[in-house]
Amino acid sequence: MPVQQKSVVVTANYVGIKRRIGAFVYDLFLLLATLIFATAIIMPFTQKAIHSGSVIFQIYIFLIIFVFYGWFWTHGGQTLGMRAWKIRVELENGQNLNWTQAGLRFVLAILTFGVGLLWCLWDEKHRAFHDRLARTQVVLVEEKYVPPV
């Protein structure tokens, strides 16, 4: 007797500002732990050459934050906070982001954060301004959602 598999049809349910902020706050705890660990790793090697106000340290922290978000966005489109809130970032065509697209979205999100996030309130797909510019969208995922490969 053949086993029938159910196909999962995913319709795009766009995510508004409340879920985005919820996922962001959730991710801040994990990001903070990551930054503490990343700082602890370089402390023995830097001695007094790098301190919290140095440009080198700030670039290092910026890169750690980018790798944190970029890795999650390029590997399934969900940070742990996004998984908890059942949302996913993807390209407008539903595909995963690559590192270039993740970088563009990351930089644009930083440059437009406050005003850009408010853009969700007026956009028909609830995209933030950085999502519009980077051609990405944040969607609600169903329980059995499998992201594209």
**Domain containing residue 111:** 17-140
Please state the rounded mean pLDDT for residues 30-39: 95
Threshold 0.85, pTM exceeds: no
Query: How many other C-beta atoms can be found within 10 angstroms of the C-beta atom of residue 23?
Result: 23
pLDDT tops 50 at residue 10 = no
> Does residue 5 form part of some domain?
no
C-alpha count within 13 angstroms, C-beta hemisphere, residue 123: 22
> Does residue 95 form part of some domain?
yes
Three-state secondary-structure class, residue 66: helix
Contact between 81 and 22 (Cβ < 8 Å)? yes
> Does residue 112 form part of some domain?
yes
Three-state secondary-structure class, residue 94: coil
More confident of the two residues 106 and 9: 106
Structural domain count of the chain: 1
pLDDT (tens digit, 9 = 90+) per residue, 100-131?
Answer: 999 999 999 999 877 889 999 999 999 999 99
> Does residue 9 form part of some domain?
no
Cα–Cα distance between 67 and 48 in angstroms, integer? 25
> Does residue 45 form part of some domain?
yes
The dihedral sign for the CA sequence 85, 103, 74, 93? positive
pLDDT (tens digit, 9 = 90+) per residue, 46-79?
Answer: 766 666 677 888 899 999 999 999 999 999 999 9
pLDDT at 55: 84
For residue 9, name the pLDDT band (cuts at 50, 70, 90): very low
> Does residue 24 form part of some domain?
yes
> Does residue 44 form part of some domain?
yes
> Does residue 117 form part of some domain?
yes
Q: Say which residues have a Cβ less than 8 Å from residue 83's Cβ, sequence separation at least 6.
A: none
H-assigned helices in 4-46: 17-46
pLDDT at 141: 92
Q: Which two tokens stand for residue 102?
A: 């993740």
